[in-house]
Amino acid sequence: MKDTAIIGNSSYAKSGGRLGGMSAAGVDPHPLTGELFVSPVPPGTGWPDDPADAATPVAQSAADVHALATSAHSLDELNARISVCRACPRLVEWRESVATTGRRASYAHEPYWGRPAASFGDPDAEVLIVGLAPAANGANRTGRMFTGDRSGDWLYAGLFRAGFASQATSVAAGDGLELKNCRIAAAVRCAPPANKPTTAEKATCAPWLDRDLEFAEPRLRSILALGLIGWDAAIGAARRRGWHIPSPKPRFTHGAEAMLTTASGRPIRLVGSYHVSQQNTFTGKLTEAMFDEVLARL
């Protein structure tokens, strides 16, 4: 990928939400606040919990992602930088085309976030959940991990039962949901076509997760990986952090468990779960009882 200059996004904000030559799809009211937004949502324009503003530097390449992730001084700064990233051309095009011309009919008159989803939850959490990527009409619409789709309904209901979430529903950013002792990150922060990021896109996005893990590490007790991609991303990030990973590499399956060891010698439990996608929960491949059982081990 080309290594272009890292720029702030004030021109993006001033452009009224037109990015990369795409037209904004009009102005629509946020479903909770009623405030009007263009789509994709320009940083710092009042979207609930938007971590970025017009001065947040924008990664335009894999090299930029690495530089901006490693130089982020705090989780807030990291989240801001993630939320404006443009390093993967295919994913930027996809997330913004869904946000403008490709909306689901039932959300046609809602604004779409159309940007990467930052991590969500307790900044001092002992438990980190690593998902796959935002859903095109879920987090890509609402701007918050697993929010506004059936996967999120299912995940947050489970987290509520386990005491990690303040409520069982997750409708939109600004709905009052808080996570307790738990934070949700992902292998890839932009919605990918068919939920399938490429190997190169996973590699480009990895430094964001690496830094997320670094911020979490001092208090971390366990990691829940959702699906094989989440499992591989968590192990990859841990390996790059210098943790000891059992050999042979632990294999993913639902309920799999491995003990990883940080570079300072602290054990961290890695637990796997089938992803909370509708494909798994509607078919009964993943049941509430199965999910509750893995949550109880964190």
Asked if residue 204 binds ligand SF4 (CB under 6 A), the reply is: yes
Q: Is 188 in the site for ligand SF4 (CB under 6 A)?
A: yes
Residue 28, H or E segment? strand 27-29
Residue number with CB closer to ligand SF4 (103 or 202): 202
Nearest to 52 by CA among 89, 86, 90: 86
Is residue 135 involved in binding ligand SF4 (CB under 6 A)?
no
What is the DSSP-derived secondary structure letter of residue 213? Answer: H
Q: How far is the CB of 71 from ligand SF4 (least distance, A)?
A: 15
Question: What is the footprint of ligand SF4 within residues 91-110 (CB under 6 A)?
Answer: 91-92
Q: Check if the beta carbon of residue 155 is closer than 8 Å to that of residue 135.
A: no
Provide, rounded to whole angstroms, the least separation between the CB of residue 64 and ligand SF4: 9
How far apart (Å, rounded) are the C-alpha atoms in residues 201 and 133?
A: 11
Contact between 205 and ligand SF4 (CB under 6 A)?
yes
Given 30, 141, 189, 211, the residue binding ligand SF4 (CB under 6 A): 189
Please tell me whether residue 212 binds ligand SF4 under the rule CB under 6 A.
no
Residue 120 CA, distance from chain mean position: 7
Tokens (6 digits) for 220:
């971390």
Which residue, 110 or 201, has its beta carbon nearer to ligand SF4?
A: 201
Please tell me the distance from the alpha carbon of residue 213 to that of residue 35, in angstroms, as a whole number: 34
Partner residues linked to 268 by β-bridges? 260
Under the criterion CB under 6 A, does residue 85 sit at the interface with ligand SF4? Answer: yes
Q: Are 38 and 29 in contact (CB under 8 A)?
A: no
Single out the residue of 266, 263, 213 nearest to residue 243, CA to CA. 263
87 binds ligand SF4 (CB under 6 A): yes
Site string for ligand SF4, 21-50 (x = CB under 6 A): ------------------------------
Query: Binding residues for ligand SF4, per CB under 6 A?
Result: 59, 65, 82, 85-88, 91-92, 116, 188-190, 201, 204-205
